[in-house]
Amino acid sequence: MTSPSSGPGSSGTPAPAAAPAPSTQIPAPKALAKALEDGMYAKATTPYGRMFLLSLTGGAFIAWGFIYMVTSQQGMAEWPTGIAKVLGGVVFSVGLGLVVISGSDLFTGTTMTVMPWLSKRITAGRMLAHWGISITGNFIGSALMALLILLAGVHASNGGAWGLITLNTSLAKVSYDWPRAFFLGLLANFAVCLAVWIATAGKTVTDKILAVIGPISLFVATGLEHSVANMFMLPMGLMVKYGAGDEFWNGAAVQKAGVTVDDFAALTPLSAVWDNLIPVILGNIVGGAVFVGVYFWLAYNKPETSAAKEEARKDS
């Protein structure tokens, strides 16, 4: 007589089948557009309290990307400009990588909630409320990171070289006229939302990180304007200008550059808002909502929505 088996299925019940391995094939473009719309719908319908909390980290994580970029640019003046800019862009992409993986809320990405609005899944009021909460939380998170960097004395590192980069970068950002700032913002968020589009197709952390590097490094290296990134850089530049103190202004790098606080007279809170943030935000909205959200909705999601409405009409 054989002894009863003690293994799985010994009672006569077959052992459960192993779960199939997840597919590594990326969705087809049409399915990807639907996944992007569904993701935007989920973000827009998040409870407002959680939405605000996730917006704080959205701003803070993009600030981390800019912090890394500034750090990478110290001592790069002797390098070929293209190499220095591409390096800065690659390290900056850490910021969007953190946003994508953590599920944080980034205003520039939320402009694509125009997709579920076009499909009548959310109201215009809900979409605009999401945008408002997102941009407010992003600004607070970004500005708080700037304050922490100042309190930590990072701006004075390497003889003030770190803080000098933020001053020069901030001054350049408030020197654009409105049309140029608008179009720089449009192009920047065109690239950022394409990065989100590609990352949506990713199956692993590695996929998603690699997906954002190309478009993000492209926009940073080209010198395009991203409103949330500027919500860190401009407050950082202003904090250095008004609050760095003698340790910074007497630093070796600052002295070597031969600059004083008077050289940054054009950098003010008013110029930061009026000459940069407002036109860049408007450009970001067009670049993300129209050039990516509306485009992919028209190309893939509108025909499906129209077909569903026609089927419902026939059934009625």
CATH of residue 271:
1.20.1080.10
Q: Specify if 287 maps to a domain.
A: yes
Summary mean pLDDT of the chain = 92
Q: Specify if 43 maps to a domain.
A: yes
Question: Tell me, what's the pLDDT at 1?
Answer: 46
- The confidence band for 303, taking pLDDT boundaries of 50, 70 and 90, is confident
In sequence order, the 6+-apart residues with CB closer than 8 A to the CB of 66 are: 92, 95, 229, 232, 233, 236
- The confidence band for 4, taking pLDDT boundaries of 50, 70 and 90, is very low
Tens digits of residue pLDDT in 19-76: 666 666 788 999 999 999 999 999 999 999 999 999 999 999 999 999 999 999 998 8
How is 100-159 classified by DSSP, letter by letter?
HHHT---HHHHGGGHHHHHTTSS-HHHHHHHHHHHHHHHHHHHHHHHHHHHHHTGGGHHH
pLDDT at 265 over 80: yes
**How many other C-beta atoms can be found within 10 angstroms of the C-beta atom of residue 239?**
20
The mean pLDDT of 70-84, rounded to a whole number, is 91
Q: Specify if 255 maps to a domain.
A: yes
Q: Specify if 109 maps to a domain.
A: yes
Q: Specify if 110 maps to a domain.
A: yes
Tens digits of residue pLDDT in 137-190: 999 999 999 999 999 999 999 999 999 999 999 999 999 999 999 999 999 999
- The confidence band for 13, taking pLDDT boundaries of 50, 70 and 90, is low
Cβ 186 vs Cβ 287: under 8 Å = yes
Token pair listed for 178: 């409105």
- The confidence band for 271, taking pLDDT boundaries of 50, 70 and 90, is very high
The mean pLDDT of 228-241, rounded to a whole number, is 98
The mean pLDDT of 78-83, rounded to a whole number, is 90
Q: Specify if 298 maps to a domain.
A: yes
Token pair listed for 197: 């589009």
pLDDT at 306 over 90: no
Q: Specify if 312 maps to a domain.
A: no
Q: Specify if 24 maps to a domain.
A: no
Range of the domain at 56: 29-303
Number of independent structural domains in the chain: 1
d(CA 230, CA 40): 23
